[in-house]
Each structure stands twice: as structure tokens, then as C-alpha cells.
């Protein structure tokens, strides 16, 4: 047993225990197409100037600004540059070249006159041979010209290290011709659920047995927090069976989570196996989720939650979710303030995490009872109502902290 008894003490202990594993992750090179939501390991510099080449911001005519200083003026159309034209063109002074948005501005031109300020007075749109265009509006040098490098210079950073790649980052990387990026590997989390009462191998439940709700809940919570599930195992209350899945989980993972087997019963398999390995088992003044433990096995941190399904989910949410979100570069889990829609009775000396639902953005009502087996009640909740340890009777309207699920 340790002297930790409060939620904050245990949370700090777990944060310290996990810090090395969360920091030391490997990196991998992935194609841009698979990089949405990944976190870049390093600054990504641009291999090119963006734009690559000086190009037109408008459909219109490329001119020398000096040639259109007095308008209207008629200019011979000496060329035509559609988008995708790959041959450099030079503008003959005193003429205009038709140009499309994004096409390279010809050498010698320094302004674009948008098509709506022009009129073909000789020739046709589909045949510019011998055409003449009337320019109706002057433009200053540089107008509607996108200079090379005006968005980003070669070598400048497109996305800084630790950015979680969203669509706009992928667009900028693609625009610069970056085809793959080095990203952090997600935290690999092994998940072990325990209990002789759990149904195995997709069989129907016999009397006295229950289905394993914790394995799928922890797997989903881990994925939602941006980590990956590296191993899933289940054992009954036989220490040899638990040791077997524990070893497999540790070998595959940066972090292992367990549920069940750490309280004071006669058959506490997680406790029985991990205590001889130096596990710290403690009772935190919280409900649900009092029994908690941590261990380190072959340098891999192991965080142990109690086995009641609500206890498991609440424990993950309170102690591990925020650390994984942060490691994944995801926005921190949200806590907010809300007012109680109705009075709540709590237990002195224990911090309660009651299941609640927001009925308005800042009004919360309790759903389901406080018991840790109410797994369907948990499904009806969208927040946890965080009731301080010293609170007993809270009146309607009392401000409380809520944790978004």
C-alpha cells in the first residue's frame, strides 16, 4: 500500500509513471494519403518556393502596366497561355497575352487585366489569330500577379513539429510536392481484462457469468484518445493464466491497462501476480473506482483499474485519457462548469464521479444511480459530474465540474 489517497495524487503518480513511455515513441514515414490525424515528428520545411512560379490570379490579359496606363487602349493579342502551359513565354512590349488563372505570367508582363475589364475587338475567344483586345481599365505593376514564393519560401516550415495533420496541412504539404511525412507512432496500449465470471470465446452466458464489457470499452477509449491497441487479452482468476497474457501484453506495448482483480477479495489475480513484482496497490478516495494499482513490468508501465464496468471507464477517463490525448497531439479532454438541475446527495470523504447529462449547455442532471455496475446507465450519460470529496448535499443550481465523455 502507498500513501496516495486522493484522485489528484494518483493522477500525478500515473502521469510521472507514463511520461518516459509517452515521450520515447518511435517515428515512421507515411504517405501523405495516410497521414490525416497523425502528428508530425519534426518541422517539415518546404522543398520549393510556393507558388513555384509567378502566376496569374485572374483570367484575363497579361500586360505591361505602362502599356495600359491610359485607357481605353487597344493591344494586339500576341499569345495565349492556358493553365498548364509549360513553355516559358515572353511578352512583346505593346501587346497583350491572354492568360488563365494560375498560368505562368510571361516574362516582361507585370500586371494582369481581368477579363471583365477587356473586350476582344478583333478575333474570337476560340481563335485569337490576329486578335486585338481593348483594355478598359489601368492596372498598377504587380496587380493580380502572384509572385513566386509569396506564400512560402523554400526552406521555410510548412508545418511545425508536433502538429496534428488536418486537411489544411495536407493541402499545403501536397502543394509543395511533399509526398510523405515522418510522424510519431501512436502509443501502443495493451489491454487485459480479468475475471473467472467472464464469458469466453463467443459462447452464451451461463448462470453466474457475464459478458466482457471492459475489453471493448478500453479498446474504444484508447482508440478515441489517439493511441493504438497493441494487444487484447482476457484471463480468469488463475495467476498462471494472467501472467501469460500479461507477458504477451508487455512485450507488445508501451503501456498496459488491466481491469479487475485488485481489491480485497479472496481471488485477486492482478494483485496476486503484480504485488510480488513491486506493484503499488492503493485505495483512492473516489467512487466509482476506489481500488487502483500501478506496476512496472520489464520497464513497461502497467495501470490497473477495478473491474466493475463503470469503474473501469471512469478510471481511464480520470487517470489516463488526458495523457494519451496529449501524446497524440489531440485537443485536451474537456471539463466545463455546469449547474445542477436537481439536488444531489453524495458520500462524505469520497470524490464522486456521477453519471450526468447536459440538458442545456450549462445545466446538468444526474442519470442512473451511483453504483459501479450500472453499465447501461453509463451509456445514457454524456458527462461525469465531479462531486468534491467534502460535498454531501448539493442543492439545485450548485456549480459543479463536468468531464465530457
Q: Which of residues 283-312 bind a copy of itself (CB under 8 A)?
A: 307-309
Could you tell me whether strands 188-194 and 228-235 are parallel, antiparallel, or unpaired per DSSP bridges?
A: parallel
Helix (H, G, I), strand (E, B) or coil at 254: coil
Cβ closest to a copy of itself, residue 168 vs residue 348:
168
CB 397, min distance to a copy of itself, A: 25
Q: How far is the CB of 146 from a copy of itself (least distance, A)?
A: 6
Distance of CA 91 to the CA centre of its chain: 49
Stretch in the footprint of a copy of itself (CB under 8 A) among 4-12, 182-190, 296-304, 368-376: 368-376
H, E, C per residue of 84-131: CCCCCCECCCCEEEEECCCCECCECCCEEEEHHHEEEEEEECCEEEEE
67 counts as binding a copy of itself under rule CB under 8 A: no
Decide: is 124 part of the binding site for a copy of itself (CB under 8 A): no
Site string for a copy of itself, 170-199 (x = CB under 8 A): xxxxxxxx-x---------------xxxx-
Rule CB under 8 A: say whether 134 interacts with a copy of itself: no
Ranges within 199-238 binding a copy of itself (CB under 8 A): 202, 204-221, 223-224, 236-237
329 binds a copy of itself (CB under 8 A): no
Classified as helix, coil or strand, 152 is strand
Question: Rounded distance, CA 121 to CA 116, Å?
Answer: 14
33 interacts with a copy of itself by CB under 8 A:
yes
- Closest contact distance (angstroms) between CB of 81 and a copy of itself is 8
Cis-peptide, bond into residue 72, ω within 30° of zero:
yes
- Alpha helix locations (H) across 262-350? 269-274, 309-319, 321-327
Contact 78, 92 (CB under 8 A): yes
Contact partners, residue 15, CB within 8 Å, separation at least 6: 323
371 lines the binding site for a copy of itself (CB under 8 A): yes
By beta-carbon proximity to a copy of itself, the closer residue of 281 and 394 is 281
Q: CB of 36: closest distance to a copy of itself in angstroms?
A: 5
Q: Would you say 283 and 306 are in contact if contact means Cβ atoms under 8 Å apart? A: no
Which 334-363 positions form the footprint of a copy of itself (CB under 8 A)? none
From CA 363, how far away is CA 41, in angstroms rounded? Answer: 40
Q: Using CB under 8 A, count the residues that bind a copy of itself.
A: 95
Which residue from 116, 247, 393, 399 is in contact with a copy of itself, where contact means CB under 8 A? 116
Nearer CB in complex with a copy of itself: 56/297 = 56
Amino acid at each position: 500500500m502507498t500513501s496516495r489517497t486522493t484522485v489528484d495524487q494518483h493522477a500525478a503518480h500515473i502521469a510521472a509513471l507514463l511520461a518516459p513511455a509517452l515521450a520515447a515513441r518511435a517515428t515512421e514515414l507515411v504517405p501523405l494519403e495516410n497521414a490525416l490525424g497523425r502528428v508530425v515528428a519534426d518541422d517539415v520545411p518546404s522543398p520549393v518556393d510556393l507558388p513555384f512560379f509567378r502566376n496569374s490570379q485572374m483570367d484575363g490579359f497579361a500586360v505591361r502596366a505602362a502599356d495600359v496606363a491610359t485607357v481605353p487602349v487597344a493591344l494586339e493579342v500576341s499569345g495565349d497561355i492556358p493553365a498548364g502551359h509549360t513553355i516559358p513565354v515572353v511578352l512583346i512590349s505593346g501587346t497583350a497575352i491572354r492568360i488563365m488563372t494560375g498560368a505562368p505570367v510571361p516574362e516582361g508582363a507585370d500586371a494582369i487585366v481581368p477579363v471583365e475589364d477587356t473586350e476582344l475587338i478583333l478575333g474570337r475567344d476560340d481563335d485569337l489569330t490576329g486578335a486585338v483586345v481593348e483594355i478598359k481599365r489601368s492596372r498598377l505593376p504587380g496587380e493580380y500577379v502572384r509572385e513566386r514564393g509569396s506564400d512560402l519560401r523554400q526552406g521555410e516550415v510548412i508545418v511545425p513539429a508536433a502538429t496534428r495533420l488536418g486537411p489544411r496541412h495536407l493541402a499545403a504539404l501536397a502543394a509543395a510536392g511533399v509526398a510523405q511525412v515522418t510522424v510519431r507512432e501512436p502509443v501502443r496500449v495493451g489491454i487485459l481484462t480479468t475475471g473467472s465470471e467472464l464469458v469466453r470465446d463467443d459462447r452464451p452466458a451461463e448462470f453466474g457469468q457475464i459478458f466482457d464489457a471492459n475489453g471493448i470499452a478500453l479498446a474504444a477509449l484508447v482508440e478515441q484518445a489517439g493511441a493504438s491497441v497493441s494487444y487484447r487479452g482476457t484471463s480468469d482468476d488463475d495467476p498462471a493464466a494472467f501472467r501469460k497474457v500479461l507477458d504477451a501484453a508487455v512485450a507488445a506495448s508501451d503501456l498496459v491497462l488491466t481491469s479487475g482483480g485488485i481489491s480485497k477479495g479472496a481471488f485477486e489475480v492482478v494483485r496476486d501476480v503484480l504485488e510480488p513484482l513491486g506493484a503499488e496497490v492503493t485505495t483512492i478516495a473516489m467512487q466509482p473506482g476506489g481500488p487502483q494499482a500501478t506496476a512496472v513490468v520489464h520497464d513497461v508501465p502497467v495501470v490497473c483499474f477495478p473491474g466493475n464496468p463503470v469503474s473501469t471507464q471512469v478510471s481511464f477517463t480520470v487517470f489516463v485519457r488526458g495523457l494519451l490525448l496529449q501524446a497524440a497531439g489531440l485537443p485536451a479532454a474537456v471539463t466545463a462548469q455546469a449547474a445542477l438541475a436537481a439536488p444531489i446527495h453524495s458520500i462524505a470523504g469520497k470524490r464522486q464521479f456521477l453519471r450526468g447529462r447536459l440538458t442545456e449547455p450549462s445545466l446538468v442532471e444526474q442519470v442512473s444511480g451511483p453504483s459501479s455496475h450500472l453499465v447501461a446507465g453509463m451509456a445514457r450519460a454524456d458527462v461525469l459530474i465531479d462531486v468534491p470529496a467534502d460535498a454531501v448535499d448539493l442543492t439545485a443550481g450548485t456549480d459543479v465540474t463536468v468531464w465530457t465523455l
